[in-house]
């Protein structure tokens, strides 16, 4: 990747991260209960999905 593309990509990631953080903080100020509920639910769903993804598979054919 060229230096110019790398710089632009880095700036885009930084800008997106700032925008997301600002939006989350703003929503928490305006609607704290709803935002907390949705963030907690998202974390719970993400945790369950990660657990299902990384747990060992059972009942399949396993190498001897």
Percent of the chain beyond pLDDT 70? Answer: 88
Higher pLDDT, 55 or 60: 55
Query: Whose structure tokens read 């974390």?
Result: 43
Strands (DSSP E) found in 6-45: none
Report the predicted TM-score, pTM, of the whole model to 2 decimal places. 0.46
pLDDT digits (tens, 9 = 90+) for 28-40: 888 888 888 988 9
Query: Whose structure tokens read 């990631």?
Result: 13
Q: Length of the chain in residues, anyone?
A: 64
- The whole-number pLDDT of residue 59 equals 58
Task: Tell me how many degrees the CA angle 43-46-52 measures, rounded to the nearest 5.
Answer: 140
């Amino acid at each position: 990747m060229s230096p110019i593309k790398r710089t632009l990509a880095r700036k885009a990631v930084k800008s997106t991260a700032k925008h997301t953080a600002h939006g989350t903080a703003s929503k928490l100020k305006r609607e704290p209960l709803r935002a907390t509920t949705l963030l907690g639910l998202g974390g719970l769903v993400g945790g369950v999905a990660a657990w299902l993804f990384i747990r060992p598979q059972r009942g399949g054919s396993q190498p001897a």
